[in-house]
C-alpha cells in the first residue's frame, strides 16, 4: 500500500474552535510559548499555586496541534525509559529512579482527579500494557527487565506462552504486563485548555512567535504578524518546534524524531478478537518499537521511525508508513483487506538520556526551558512538567524540594554506553541460564 489517507491527527475533530490571535502590544507576568501538554501543564500548576499570576499561552496553531494532540494516548508513569538500563546495584541511583516513578504515579493520580472533577471527556481508561515476546531473545529481555520494573515500583505480571496468547493474536512466547492509562490525548489537551480559560489565562492561538528579545527587566516576544507580548518570565515549551523561534540564546542540543501512526476503519468484533482477546494495549520489547491499541473498534498501530525535522513532509514520510503498514500486516495478516482510515505522524525532541530539559537559561534566568519530551513516556513527563517550573517562575516563593530534586536528576542525567552494554549482558546471561 502506498496511498495513505494522510491527516494531521486522527484525534482532531472536524471543527476546531480557536481563540483569537495576539494583536497589538500586550503585557503579562508569565508568557508560555507552546500549547502542548508541557505548556498547558506549566499554566495549570502556576494557576494552582497562585491564582493571581497573569499568564498568557501563545500557540502557533491551536492547543494540541503538536505531538500532544497526535500521540498514541499511552499515559505511563515511567521515568525516561533509558534510565531502566542504569546501574541498579547503586542504591542511590535505584532510589532516585524509584522516587521518580512514584512522582510520576502521584501526578497521574492527581490528573485523574482533575479529569473526574472537571468532567473532561477524554476516554481516561486505567488498563495495562503488555510487552509481548516472540522469540527466545525477547523472552530473555522480558525476564531481565521484569525485576527492574518491579524495583522501581511498577506492578508487573509475567505470563508464560499459553497465557500470553490472550494478549495478541500473533505468536507470543511470553508476556509482561504493567499498569498504564490510555486517553484520547487531544480531548485531554482541550479539557486543560477549557479549564485554563475559565481560570483567566489568556490564550492566543494561530500566533507564532518569531523571536524573543530580552532586557534585564523583561522579555519581549514578537509574533510573525507584528504583535508583541511582554512578560517578566517566559517558558519555552515548543519541544520539537523550538528551532522555529529565534530565541537569541543557545539551547541544549537535542534531536528530533518522528513517530508514525495508522488507524484502521472500525473492525468487526471477530477481527478485534483475533487481534487481541483482552483488547488491551500491546507492543514489542525489542528495539524495533511497535505498539498497538484498540480504540473505538479500530486498531491504532504505531512506531518510532527516524531522526527527522519537523516539516509537514516529515509527517508524511512515505517509506516510514510503508514500513509501519508492513509491520502491522506481519502481525495481523488478516487485516490485508481492511482499509486504513487515517495515517499521521508527529515530531518529538529528545536528547540521548531521554531526560527532559527543565531549567532557566544561562543567558537569562527569566527564560525557562521546558522541553525535550520524547521517548516512551513523553506524555506523562510533559503533563507533570508544570510542577517543575512553578517554583522557578515564582522565584522560589513556593519552595518545592521535590521539583528541585527531579530537575537535578534531569540535569545530572548523562548517556552512558554502559547502559546498553549492561542490558545486552543481562539479557544474554538470562538467555544462557534458561
Ligand X SMILES: Cc1cc2nc3c(=O)[nH]c(=O)nc-3n(C[C@H](O)[C@H](O)[C@H](O)COP(=O)(O)OP(=O)(O)OC[C@H]3O[C@@H](n4cnc5c(N)ncnc54)[C@H](O)[C@@H]3O)c2cc1C
Binding positions for ligand X, 174-213, rule CB under 6 A: 208-209
Q: Are 293 and 326 in contact (CB under 8 A)?
A: no
For ligand X, give the closer residue by CB, 67 or 423: 67
- Give me the residue whose beta carbon is nearest to ligand X: 378
Helices (H) and strands (E) in the chain, counts: 12, 17
For ligand X, give the closer residue by CB, 43 or 133: 43
Position 320 contacts ligand X (CB under 6 A): no
Which of 4, 42, 66, 178 touches ligand X (CB under 6 A)?
Answer: 66
CB of 266 to ligand X, least distance (A): 21
Question: Which listed range, 36-44, 46-54, 326-334, 420-428, lies at the site for ligand X (CB under 6 A)?
Answer: 36-44
Position 38 contacts ligand X (CB under 6 A): yes
Position 60 contacts ligand X (CB under 6 A): yes
Which of 58, 85, 212, 256 touches ligand X (CB under 6 A)?
Answer: 58
For ligand X, give the closer residue by CB, 77 or 276: 77
Instruction: Give the contact letters, 373-412, x = binds to ligand X (CB under 6 A), - = no.
Output: xx-xxxxx-x------------------------------
Specify the length of the chain in residues. 434
Question: Which listed range, 10-18, 248-256, 345-353, 425-433, lies at the site for ligand X (CB under 6 A)?
Answer: 345-353
CB of 428 to ligand X, least distance (A): 29
Q: Are 260 and 317 in contact (CB under 8 A)?
A: yes
Position 4 contacts ligand X (CB under 6 A): no
Q: What sign does the CA torsion over 60, 61, 62, 64 have?
A: negative
Cell of 92: 542511590
CB of 74 to ligand X, least distance (A): 3
CB of 43 to ligand X, least distance (A): 12
Position 70 contacts ligand X (CB under 6 A): yes
Position 34 contacts ligand X (CB under 6 A): yes
Position 346 contacts ligand X (CB under 6 A): yes
Q: How far is CA 102 from CA 97, 109, 406, 411, in A?
A: 9, 10, 12, 19
For ligand X, give the closer residue by CB, 374 or 426: 374
Q: Are 335 and 313 in contact (CB under 8 A)?
A: no
CA distance 295 to 305: 22
CB of 207 to ligand X, least distance (A): 6
Please, what is the angle between helix 185-198 and helix 91-117, to 10°?
70
CA distance 130 to 133: 10
Which of 348, 357, 369, 393 touches ligand X (CB under 6 A)?
Answer: 348
For ligand X, give the closer residue by CB, 142 or 382: 382
Strands 255-264 and 282-283: unpaired
CB contact burial 254-288 (16+ within 10 A = b; e otherwise) = bebbbbbbbbbeebeeebbebbbeebbbbbbbeee
Position 261 contacts ligand X (CB under 6 A): yes
CA distance 327 to 86: 30
CB of 264 to ligand X, least distance (A): 16
Q: Are 205 and 35 in contact (CB under 8 A)?
A: yes
Query: Residue 250, exposed/middle/buried by CB under 10 A (0-12, 13-18, 19+)?
Result: exposed
Position 33 contacts ligand X (CB under 6 A): yes
Cell of 23: 494583536
Beta bridge partners of 294: 299
Range list of β-strands (E), 224-271: 228-236, 255-264
Binding positions for ligand X, 221-250, rule CB under 6 A: 237-241, 244-245
For ligand X, give the closer residue by CB, 165 or 321: 321
Q: Are 290 and 302 in contact (CB under 8 A)?
A: yes
**Count of residues near ligand X by CB under 6 A:** 45
**CA of residue 194 relative to chain centroid, distance:** 21
DSSP state of 266: P
Position 306 contacts ligand X (CB under 6 A): no
For ligand X, give the closer residue by CB, 292 or 426: 292
Contacting residues toward ligand X, per CB under 6 A: 33-39, 58-61, 65-68, 70-74, 76, 208-209, 237-241, 244-245, 259, 261, 302, 345-348, 373-374, 376-380, 382
Amino acid at each position: 500500500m502506498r496511498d495513505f489517507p494522510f491527516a494531521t491527527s486522527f484525534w482532531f475533530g472536524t471543527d476546531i474552535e480557536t481563540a483569537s490571535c495576539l494583536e497589538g502590544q500586550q503585557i503579562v507576568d508569565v508568557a508560555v510559548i507552546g500549547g502542548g501538554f508541557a505548556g498547558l501543564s506549566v499554566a495549570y500548576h502556576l494557576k494552582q499555586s497562585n491564582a493571581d499570576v497573569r499568564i498568557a499561552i501563545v500557540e502557533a496553531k491551536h492547543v494540541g496541534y503538536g505531538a500532544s494532540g497526535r500521540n498514541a494516548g499511552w499515559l505511563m508513569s515511567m521515568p525516561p525509559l533509558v534510565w531502566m538500563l542504569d546501574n541498579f546495584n547503586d542504591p542511590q541511583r535505584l532510589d532516585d529512579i524509584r522516587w521518580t516513578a512514584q512522582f510520576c504515579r502521584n501526578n497521574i493520580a492527581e490528573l485523574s482527579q482533575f479529569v473526574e472533577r472537571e468532567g473532561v471527556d477524554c476516554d481516561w481508561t486505567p488498563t495495562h500494557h503488555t510487552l509481548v515476546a516472540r522469540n527466545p531473545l525477547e523472552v530473555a529481555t522480558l525476564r531481565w527487565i521484569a525485576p527492574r520494573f518491579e524495583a522501581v515500583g511498577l506492578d508487573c505480571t509475567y505470563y508464560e506462552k499459553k497465557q500470553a496468547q490472550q494478549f495478541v493474536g500473533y505468536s507470543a512466547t511470553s508476556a509482561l504486563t504493567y499498569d498504564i492509562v490510555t486517553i484520547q490525548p487531544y480531548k485531554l489537551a482541550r479539557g486543560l485548555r477549557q479549564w485554563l480559560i475559565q481560570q483567566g489565562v489568556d490564550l492566543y492561538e494561530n500566533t507564532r512567535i518569531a523571536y524573543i528579545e530580552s532586557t534585564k527587566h523583561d522579555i519581549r516576544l514578537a509574533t510573525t504578524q507584528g504583535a508583541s507580548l511582554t512578560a517578566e518570565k517566559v517558558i519555552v515549551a515548543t519541544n520539537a518546534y523550538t528551532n522555529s523561534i529565534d530565541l537569541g540564546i543557545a539551547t541544549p542540543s537535542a534531536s528530533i524524531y518522528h513517530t508514525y501512526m495508522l488507524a484502521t476503519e472500525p473492525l468487526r468484533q471477530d477481527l478485534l478478537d483475533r487481534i487481541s482477546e483482552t483488547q488491551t494495549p500491546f507492543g514489542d520489547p525489542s528495539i524495533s518499537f511497535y505498539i498497538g491499541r484498540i480504540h473505538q473498534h479500530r486498531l491504532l498501530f504505531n512506531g518510532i521511525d527516524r531522526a527527522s525535522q519537523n516539516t509537514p513532509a516529515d509527517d508524511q514520510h512515505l517509506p516510514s508508513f510503508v514500513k509501519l503498514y508492513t509491520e502491522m500486516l506481519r502481525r495481523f495478516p488478516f487485516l490485508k483487506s481492511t482499509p486504513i482510515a487515517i495515517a499521521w505522524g508527529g515530531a518529538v525532541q529528545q536528547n540521548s538520556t531521554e531526560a527532559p530539559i527543565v531549567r532557566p537559561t544561562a543567558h537569562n534566568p527569566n527564560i525557562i526551558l521546558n522541553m525535550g519530551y520524547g521517548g516512551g513516556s513523553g506524555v506523562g513527563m510533559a503533563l507533570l512538567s508544570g510542577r517543575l517550573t512553578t517554583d522557578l517562575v515564582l522565584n522560589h516563593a513556593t519552595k518545592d524540594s521535590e521539583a528541585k530534586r527531579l530537575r537535578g536528576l534531569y540535569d545530572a542525567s548523562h548517556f552512558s554506553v554502559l547502559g546498553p552494554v549492561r542490558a545486552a549482558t543481562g539479557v544474554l546471561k538470562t538467555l544462557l541460564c534458561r
